[in-house]
Each structure stands twice: as structure tokens, then as C-alpha cells.
Amino acid sequence: MTNDRVFNFSAGPSVMPESVLERAAREMMNYNGSGMSVMEMSHRSKIYQGIFDETKVKLKAALSVPDTHEILFLQGGATLQFAQIPMNLICGKAADYAVTGNFAGKAAREAEKYGTVNVIYDSTSTGHDRIPAQSELKFSENPEYFYYCANNTVYGTEWQYTPHAPCPVVCDMSSDILSRSVDVSKYGMIYAGAQKNMAPAGLTVVIINKSLAGRELAYTPEIMSYKTMIEKDSMLNTPPCWCIYMLGLMLDWLEANGGVEGMAELRKERSAIVYDVLDNSSLFIPHAQRASRSEMNVTFRTLSAELDAEFVKGAASRGLVNLKGHKLTGGLRASLYNAMPIEGAIKLAEYMKEFEVSHV
Amino acid sequence: MTNDRVFNFSAGPSVMPESVLERAAREMMNYNGSGMSVMEMSHRSKIYQGIFDETKVKLKAALSVPDTHEILFLQGGATLQFAQIPMNLICGKAADYAVTGNFAGKAAREAEKYGTVNVIYDSTSTGHDRIPAQSELKFSENPEYFYYCANNTVYGTEWQYTPHAPCPVVCDMSSDILSRSVDVSKYGMIYAGAQKNMAPAGLTVVIINKSLAGRELAYTPEIMSYKTMIEKDSMLNTPPCWCIYMLGLMLDWLEANGGVEGMAELRKERSAIVYDVLDNSSLFIPHAQRASRSEMNVTFRTLSAELDAEFVKGAASRGLVNLKGHKLTGGLRASLYNAMPIEGAIKLAEYMKEFEVSHV
């Protein structure tokens, strides 16, 4: 990390690798001899089509996406998917949702506009501090799909397994995609807002089993039909070209750093550094139950909101920024996405220990 | 234009000012002492909120948006608006559409999912070569709104007036917004995909009279409700942060170059240089009727597709790129958006004249 840059623990949009940003700056005025910026390129031009196609190929390779599944580059974030998923998949019938956090809850409420929503697991009563075991998932009679959110940024919990279901599994992987290997074939659909581990905000990646497409409700906007977007290779209209280009740069960086396996090692190492401080602290209180802990977002607090605020302020003065918890929970949160250097976790741990010494 | 850059006549995404790109590159690693790129900023951070707010203020000033209207920064492009507009405004009843080109036609077809669409003007039979006079617009009994597209990129025609209607006027201004002054108070809603005169692809600007919001159909996705987005100041979820930042840079450039009045002079000057060649040519045939000509997109052709292709190829070898016409029309098209230097129009005119001399 160069001297004038901070360690950015934001939950998203979030830190990107310096080398990726440097490359984007370098290619800004003239991409690869084209005489123009990627931001100026017609999405129908040969040169941009090349960027688009290569990015798809790289993502397919990084996540080992099988040929049964199609990768789509969409817009609107997870929030549009909350509606788009039931519009396309619920067929006016029912779907099962596991509500393990804020965004899964929003998804379930939005889906009620389009069919029957069965919330088959809800951790609200314990402050979303845990992930259910497979045995706790009691599916309904004939769900069209089962929906869950792999990693809960607000509460700092993460599914450690891919749930089995008697129907296609749909997963919001916004905040831990590309951080570990997943067996994509086990999913009907995976989607992710790009602004944590993939690219700047404004791109939504959907990976869908093609056999699920084509059952959308009659009033589904054309651009929200997965079938149409599969047929048009995400180019029914102008895609978010710059974000897709940035995803390509991120995937080059990912590959150079060991791919998703490399990222899985790094996330374990980074989060262990911070959890280790929490587990040996008499000041800091971790939020998530141990077995449900996220390796992407570490949530904790001190005994008072005043002390939390002092911690955030002191951290910022050392270049450790965005450690304030989500407004729903208060407290503190350290988001440790793919691009967070180990050094950032070490500096944070050091500061936590110093803060504890001077405040107990 | 520096030596290694081309003149980019793409219909969109399209040319941006060099100084804007240079500034974006310069601010890439560390925006304004924040220690991070704008792409890494939490949309809820004070620094990003500042960028967002300032951009809105600048756009409000540039277009003299009255306080009756709200500016929204959305995603999904015009194509999502084709559905979002009727979902919010048609109330299951009827709306009037003027189909003067490809995208207005798409908008009308999409709206049929949500109510009754009266196509009250259609220039299909003459290859969309003209814009109707006010007197040709025969409105239906009780339309909820009247929809038109101000500038038709594919056919090179442009409305030279704001139509009067017995209902709110909704206008797709994607390809000529910020190129001339408009009286926003005359519109119920103006919207524009950003990728021509405003910012990179991935941002849709909506300017809506607040009194029109809140009548959306029951199944409208939350993120597609104008009312919700007005209440949330476009931040129900993560907005396309980078594109909004780039819009801010573009608006600084716009102001430094005379604002929309300055742009209006430039567009007249640029397009006159090219139309003048067309009007004195025995080789090139302009597509649009004279009174309906667009100052943003000049559409023309030679007598054969082979010669058109030769023209495009020869132009590219001189650094004049993306002059091929839309696939629906064939032929040739020069898009002359705000950021196209006068020099680009001059070089194009010179080449056209040379090409004519060597081919008649």
C-alpha cells in the first residue's frame, strides 16, 4: 500500500487492488492502441466485444462455470434481482426463503409481490447471529426455488456449505463471490452485485442454469427476462461497459494471485488475524456465533456506542477507515474483501490491541 | 486531440472530452486526499455523498431544473425506462406515443404490457425521415401521458420544438440532453441514458415532476418506483457511483465551455460543417428531411453498400472511426455529440470531399 492510500474496510463499494487501479488509469486515454478510452467505446464495436467476451471467459474459468449455466452482465444490483428472480422463477406459485440477514429479508418481502413466499428459516430473533444447519431447513411442499444469501454483510455471518433443496437453489453471493471455490452446478442461479469482490458498483453478475429461463410472468420488462438476456448475450441494450472492463482487470489480478483457491487462503488468514484479537479480548465482543462467522465481514462492538465511535475515529487517524458498523446493528465492522492486503488486517489487529490496553 | 487518439463518431457510448478523461486518470488512485479511488468508496460515506450531491446540484443548474422536479440517478438504461414509465404512469389506462424512430417504437411496444398504447404518430412508412409538426399530433381522449423521443440516433432526426399535449409530456432525451437549453417545466418527465452526452454507460438520469410519482402498479419492483427513489434520493441501494462521478466531471467541463448554450452553438457549427458537404454532394445522400435534421447524428449514404464500406474503411485509416450506420438502416452515420471537437467535423468534411472527388 503506497503512503497516501488508506486501508479501506468498507462493506461495499470497497477496496480494489492498487495494481488494478493503476492499470485502469494507464489505459484511460488510449486502450490497447484503440485511440480511445473504454468509456468511449461503442458496445457494438469489435474492440469492446473483445473485452466483453474475454471477461466472460475469465469469469467462467475463475468459477469453473459449467456449460449448463450462462453468465449475464446486468444492472440494478441485488435490489433489482429481489424482484427479477421471482418474476422469472416463481411462476405465480411459491418459493422458500432463508432469512439470515437484512438483504435476504428484503428479497423475501419483495418476492411476495409475485407469488407465495415461505420463510423456512429466520434468524431475526437472535439478531441474525447464526446460519442454520442443513437439518434446520424444512422445505415446503413444492417450492419453485430455495433462496438464501451466502454472506450477510450487516451481521457478519456466512454459510459454510451449499444447502441441498428439493428445487433449484438461488443464491445471493454479492459479498463473497470469488473468495472461495463453489460448485456452480449445485445452483440454479447465483448472482452478485459487483461492488465487493468484482468491480465498481453498477454491474450485477448472474450465473443461471439455462433450463430455468423462459418462465417469466407476462408483465416482466423485456430487459428483466433472463431468457431474453441469455439470447442477447446481455446486450439487449448498452451494458455497464466500464464495470465489465474493470471486472476483467480484477479477474487478471485474481488469476495472478492464485485464483479463488488463493483468495480462500487469504480470506482465512486475514479474518483469523482479526478474530484472534476478538477471541482474546475483554473489551471487544464479536457478534456472530463462532461456527457461522463470515471471513468477509467481521462484526463486533465494545461495551458502549461512545467507545465504538472513539475506536472508529482513532482508526481513521491511522488510515484504517470505514470501520463503523451498519446502521441496523451499530457497533463495528471490518470488511476484508479479496483486495484487502494482509497488512491491513495486521494493522487493524495492532490497533485493536492498543485500543484495548488503553481502554480497560 | 493528441496524436494517438482518434475522432470517434460512435452513436454511443461515445467520445468524451480529453480533459475529463485526464482528470479521471489523475484522480484514480487517490480522490481529493481520501486515500482511495471513487470506485472504492462506500456510497454511504461522507466523501461520496459529497460527490453525489454536487453532481445533482451541477445538473440542476446546467438544465435549470425547477424545484417541482426531482433528479434521479438510476440504472438499466432507456430499455428499463420503456417498462418503468408505464409501470409508474399509465395506471392501467392509456398513453399516447409518437413513433419517430427505433427506440420510440420499442418504448411503445413495451408499454403495451401495462396499459393501452395509442400510437398517434408513426413515421415508419417514410423510413423515419421526419418529425411531425405540432398540428399532426392528434391526441387521444384521456391519455395519462404523451411519450416521444427527442432525437433519433438511428435515423438522424430531431424534434425542434417541445410538443404541447393535454397531459404530462414524457421525453427520451438520451441522445441530445445537455446539447441545448430546454424548458424542463414543460415536461412531466425527461430521461436519458448517460452514454452519449453525460457519462459512461450504466447511468440513467430521470428528471420527473414529483407530482407524477406514487401511482405505480402493484407489482412494480421497489427499485422501479419513482416515488421510492425520490424518497431515497436515488440511494435505495448502491447507485452506479463511478458513472455519477464521471457525470460530475462532464458537467464541470460543460460549464467551462459555456453550458448548454455553448453546446448549442457548437452542435450547430459542427453539424453544419457536415450537412454542408452533404447538400453540395452528388455522391452522398442525406437520410433525414431537412427540417427534421438532427444536429447530433448525421445520417447519410452513398449509392451502394460497397462504397459505404469503402468510405468507413478509408475514414478509419485516417483516425475517423465508427462511421458505419446502424444495422437497421445501413449507410453511414456521423454522431457529433457534445465532446466531439469541431476539428473532428472538419476532418470528416475534408475526407468526404476527397472521397467524392475520387469516386465520381
- Cis-peptide into B13, omega within 30 deg: yes
Picking from B4, B327, B8, the residue whose alpha carbon sits closest to that of residue B196 is B8
Scanning every residue of chain B, which has its alpha carbon at the shortest distance from the alpha carbon of A235? B79
CB-based contact B186:B67 (threshold 8 Å) = no
CB-based contact A107:A138 (threshold 8 Å) = no
- The amino acid that residue B70 corresponds to is E
What pLDDT is recorded for position A340?
98
Write out the three cell numbers for B79.
430499455
Write out the three cell numbers for B226.
419513482
When pLDDT is averaged across residues B343-349 and rounded to a whole number, the result is: 98
Q: C-alpha dihedral over A44, A48, A51, A53, to 10 degrees?
A: 20
CB-based contact A24:B28 (threshold 8 Å) = yes
Name the A residues in 66-85 with CB < 8 Å from any B CB: 75-80, 82-84
Picking from B357, B348, B359, B335, the residue whose alpha carbon sits closest to that of residue B9 is B335
What pLDDT is recorded for position A360?
80
Rounded CA gap, A86 and B153, in Å? 35
Rounded CA gap, A355 and A310, in Å? 10
Name the A residues in 311-350 with CB < 8 Å from any B CB: 319, 321-322
What pLDDT is recorded for position A205?
98
Rounded CA gap, A253 and A158, in Å? 25
A36 touches chain B (CB under 8 A): yes
| Interchain pair A6, B36: CB under 8 A | yes
When pLDDT is averaged across residues B264-291 and rounded to a whole number, the result is: 98
- The amino acid that residue A344 corresponds to is G
How far apart are the CA of B29 and the nearest CA of chain A, in angstroms?
Answer: 6
What pLDDT is recorded for position A158?
98
Please, which pLDDT band fits residue B2 given cuts at 50, 70 and 90?
Answer: low
CA B284 to chain centre: 26
Does pLDDT of B99 surpass 90?
Answer: yes
What pLDDT is recorded for position A2?
58
Rounded CA gap, A330 and A355, in Å? 19
Distances (CA, A) of B186 to A10, A214, B197, B207, B208: 42, 41, 21, 12, 11
Residues 6+ apart with CB under 8 A from A336: A9, A267, A270, A271, A274, A295, A296, A297, A298, A344, A345
Write out the three cell numbers for A133.
444447519
Residue with cell 452526452: B197
Write out the three cell numbers for A41.
467505446
What pLDDT is recorded for position A3?
62
Partner residue facing B241 (CB), from A13, A237, A322: A13
Partner residue facing A322 (CB), from B29, B42, B201: B42
Rounded CA gap, A4 and A191, in Å? 34
DSSP string covering A235-292: -SS---HHHHHHHHHHHHHHHHTTHHHHHHHHHHHHHHHHHHHHHT-SS-EE-S-GGG
Scanning every residue of chain A, which has its alpha carbon at the shortest distance from the alpha carbon of B12? A42
- Backbone phi, psi, residue B224, to 5°: -100, 0
Where in B221-321 does DSSP place strands (E)?
Answer: 285-286, 297-301, 320-321
Using alpha carbons only, what angle is made at residue A21 by residues A15 and A22, rounded to the nearest 5 degrees? 140
Write out the three cell numbers for A113.
409481490
| Interchain pair B76, A223: CB under 8 A | yes
What are the tens digits of pLDDT across the range B126-167?
A: 999 999 999 999 999 999 999 999 999 999 999 999 999 999
The DSSP code for B5 is: P
Partner residue facing B15 (CB), from A40, A77, A201: A40
CB-based contact B13:B250 (threshold 8 Å) = no
How far apart are the CA of B138 and the nearest CA of chain A, in angstroms?
Answer: 28
| Interchain pair B16, A30: CB under 8 A | no
CB-based contact A320:A351 (threshold 8 Å) = yes
Partner residue facing A15 (CB), from B40, B218, B321: B40
| Interchain pair A195, B8: CB under 8 A | no
What is the helix (H) or strand (E) element at residue B275, kind and residue range?
helix B259-279
Rounded CA gap, B179 and A239, in Å? 23
Scanning every residue of chain A, which has its alpha carbon at the shortest distance from the alpha carbon of B45? A322
What are the tens digits of pLDDT across the range A65-94?
A: 999 999 999 999 999 999 999 999 999 999
What pLDDT is recorded for position A109?
98
How far apart are the CA of B286 and the nearest CA of chain A, in angstroms?
Answer: 23
What is the helix (H) or strand (E) element at residue A8, kind and residue range?
strand A7-8
Scanning every residue of chain B, which has its alpha carbon at the shortest distance from the alpha carbon of A82? B221
What pLDDT is recorded for position A1?
52
Partner residue facing B223 (CB), from A16, A34, A79: A79
Write out the three cell numbers for B127.
423510413
Does pLDDT of B298 surpass 70?
Answer: yes
When pLDDT is averaged across residues B54-68 and rounded to a whole number, the result is: 98
Where in chain B does DSSP place strands (E)?
Answer: 7-8, 69-74, 94-99, 116-122, 146-149, 151-152, 157-158, 169-172, 189-193, 204-209, 285-286, 297-301, 320-321, 332-335
How far apart are the CA of A144 and the nearest CA of chain B, in angstroms?
Answer: 19
Rounded CA gap, B4 and A30, in Å? 7
CA B222 to chain centre: 26
Does pLDDT of B118 surpass 60?
Answer: yes
- Backbone phi, psi, residue A25, to 5°: -65, -40
Residues in chain A with pLDDT values less than 70: 1-3
- Backbone phi, psi, residue B294, to 5°: -85, 140
Taking contacts as CB-CB distances below 8 angstroms, the residues of chain A near B80 are 75-76, 221, 223-224
Taking contacts as CB-CB distances below 8 angstroms, the residues of chain B near A223 are 76-77, 79-80, 82-83
CB-based contact A154:A128 (threshold 8 Å) = yes
Name the A residues in 207-226 with CB < 8 Å from any B CB: 217-219, 221-224
A360 touches chain B (CB under 8 A): no
Rounded CA gap, B262 and B338, in Å? 10
What pLDDT is recorded for position A6?
97
Residues 6+ apart with CB under 8 A from B17: B250, B253, B339
Scanning every residue of chain A, which has its alpha carbon at the shortest distance from the alpha carbon of B16? A40
ipTM of model: 0.98
Name the A residues in 16-35 with CB < 8 Å from any B CB: 16, 18, 21-22, 24-26, 28-30, 34-35
| Interchain pair B21, A39: CB under 8 A | yes
| Interchain pair A79, B224: CB under 8 A | no
Scanning every residue of chain A, which has its alpha carbon at the shortest distance from the alpha carbon of B74? A76
Say whether A153 sits in a helix, a strand or coil: coil
What pLDDT is recorded for position B360?
81
Write out the three cell numbers for B103.
427506440
What is the helix (H) or strand (E) element at residue A298, kind and residue range?
strand A297-301
CB-based contact A239:B278 (threshold 8 Å) = no
Say whether A205 sits in a helix, a strand or coil: strand
Residues 6+ apart with CB under 8 A from A357: none
| Interchain pair B40, A202: CB under 8 A | no
Name the A residues in 160-199 with CB < 8 Å from any B CB: 193, 195
Name the B residues in 91-110 with CB < 8 Å from any A CB: 110
How far apart are the CA of A232 and the nearest CA of chain B, in angstroms?
Answer: 13
Please, which pLDDT band fits residue B3 given cuts at 50, 70 and 90?
Answer: low
What are the tens digits of pLDDT across the range A161-202?
A: 999 999 999 999 999 999 999 999 999 999 999 999 999 999
